[in-house]
């Protein structure tokens, strides 16, 4: 029987996950398929599970990486730490007390964004002397990025429209606080396909050759933010490596014989 895997989120026009996994299945002769399920509300998940009994795992993208948690049976150590989930394993026909009431399955939440971003960083930044990082946005992706930077003992600041912590600053104050950061990371969906002509609310005129700009968006390959940064001499990196590494980790989780 063919197994089904999927992506949930809204919207999903930008995603390359469906093509990546179906190409993988074809090349490796795996009897499975991967589909996109654009859910306008996370509450639609229950109906999705009920209507797709052959679903054995799914990825979660914006805006549901945090709101999906109440629908899950349990979380792995990483998703517990950051309170964000991007991968779910569906375990069928279990008698465990963790069974999901909708489809008699266990739904285990994982965060493979942490692994994906760490591999992106190691491949493109490595052990260079980065003392401080600016992260744009404060959503689920930022939680994964923050976890990795904390693990590496790298100081970081989070730009937000509503800063509410010591390491958070308003977008308008990024260049006013005299913060010396070497890396800027866009962890927002701003600039993602199909909205190609917008950038996060940051004064890009201050970006220079002393900066590395990472945009976690991978479609398009170069967001408008990266194009501007490139013209001003900054090193630029998109999110494609993170996409691939987190997807491969998700596949490892789905095909394991144990929950954790």
Q: Catalytic residue among 3, 33, 65, 227, which? A: 65
Active site residue 65: yes
HEC per residue, the chain: CCEEEEEEECCCCCCCHHHHHHHHHHHCCCCEEEEEEECCCHHHHHHHHHHCCCEEEEEECCCCCCCCHHHCCEECHHHHHHCCCCEEEEEECCCCCCCECCCCEEEEEECCHHHHHHHHHHHHCCCCCCCEEEEECCCHHHHHHHHHHHHCCCEEEEEECCCCCCCEEEHHHCCCCCCCCCEEEECCCCCCCCCCCCCCCCCHHHCCCCCEEEECCCCCCCCHHHHHHHHCCCEEECCHHHHHHHHHHHHHHHHCCCCC
Catalytic positions, written as ranges: 65
């Amino acid at each position: 029987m063919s197994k089904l895997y999927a992506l949930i989120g809204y919207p999903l026009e930008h995603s390359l996950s469906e093509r990546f996994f179906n190409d993988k299945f074809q090349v490796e002769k795996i009897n499975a398929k991967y589909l996109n399920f654009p859910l306008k509300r996370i509450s639609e998940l229950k109906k999705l599970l009920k209507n797709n009994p052959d679903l054995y795992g799914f990825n979660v993208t914006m805006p549901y990486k945090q709101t999906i948690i109440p629908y899950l049976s349990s979380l792995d150590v990483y998703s517990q730490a950051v309170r964000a989930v991007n991968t779910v394993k569906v375990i069928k026909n279990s008698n465990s007390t963790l069974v999901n009431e909708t489809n008699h399955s266990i739904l285990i939440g994982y965060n493979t964004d942490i692994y994906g971003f760490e591999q992106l960083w190691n491949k493109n930044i490595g052990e260079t002397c980065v003392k401080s990082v600016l992260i744009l946005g404060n959503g689920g992706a930022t939680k994964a990025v923050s976890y990795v930077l904390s693990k590496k003992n790298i100081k970081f600041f989070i730009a937000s429209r509503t800063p509410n912590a010591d390491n958070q600053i308003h977008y308008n104050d990024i260049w006013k606080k005299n913060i010396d950061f070497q890396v800027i990371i866009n962890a927002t969906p701003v600039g993602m396909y199909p909205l190609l002509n917008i950038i996060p609310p940051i004064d890009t005129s201050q970006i220079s050759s002393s900066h590395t700009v990472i945009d976690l968006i991978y479609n398009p390959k170069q967001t408008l933010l990266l194009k501007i940064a490139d013209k001003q001499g900054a090193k630029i990196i998109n999110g494609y490596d993170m996409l691939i590494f987190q997807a491969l980790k998700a596949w490892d989780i789905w095909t394991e014989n144990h929950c954790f």
